[in-house]
Amino acid sequence: MTDPRPDRPVMDAAPGVTDALAAGAAVAGLRARAQELDTMLARLDEDEASLRADRADGTADDEHDPEGSTLSGEWQRVDALRRAVLAERADVIAALERVETGTYGVCVRCGQPIPPARLEARPFATMCVSCAAASD
């Protein structure tokens, strides 16, 4: 296959991504995002530990404190954030696995390449725009 842009390299692996530089940037971005998510999880672990300590304090009457949120409310917030971060992290890890197997950038539904603009906006996308729209 000849690239109409001879000044840009064609990528041999991951047939859905035709630009090696874009693929390298995608992998770097995915790895950076995984690190950010790990940092968020560590912070959420700290928040959860703090909430556990506050809950263990028998003098904490958070349900009747008009100035602040309740421990239960904070607990729910931390839990929701944790679930969202874990879900995104799973998506990022799956995308990195697709890079390793050479299927990154290929729609899992139709087998066509996922447009580079979609991968730039959503690096862990598994479907092309058409298939993603049809699945909603």
Q: Which pLDDT belongs to residue 71? A: 75
Q: Where are the beta strands (DSSP E) in 1-136?
A: none
Amino acid letter for position 136: D
pTM over 0.85, yes/no: no
Residue 58 has pLDDT above 90, yes or no: no
Domains and CATH numbers, the chain: 20-135 (1.20.120.910)
Residue 65 has pLDDT above 70, yes or no: no
Q: Say if residues 50 and 56 touch (Cβ distance below 8 Å).
A: no
As a whole number, mean pLDDT of residues 14-36 equals 74
Structure tokens at 9: 């390299």
- How far, in Å, CA of 41 to CA of 129, rounded? 30
Higher per-residue pLDDT: 59 or 79 = 79
Q: Which pLDDT belongs to residue 57? A: 66
- How far, in Å, CA of 66 to CA of 101, rounded? 55
As a whole number, mean pLDDT of residues 99-125 equals 92
Q: Say if residues 91 and 108 touch (Cβ distance below 8 Å).
A: no
Higher per-residue pLDDT: 56 or 88 = 88
Higher per-residue pLDDT: 31 or 19 = 31
Structure tokens at 102: 């050479």
Structure tokens at 99: 């890079």
Among the listed ranges 15-24, 54-63, 77-86, 119-128, which one has the minimum average pLDDT value?
Answer: 15-24
Phi, psi of 7 (to 5 degrees): -80, -5
* Residue 73 CA from chain centroid, whole number: 25
As a whole number, mean pLDDT of residues 10-38 equals 71
Residue 10 has pLDDT above 50, yes or no: no
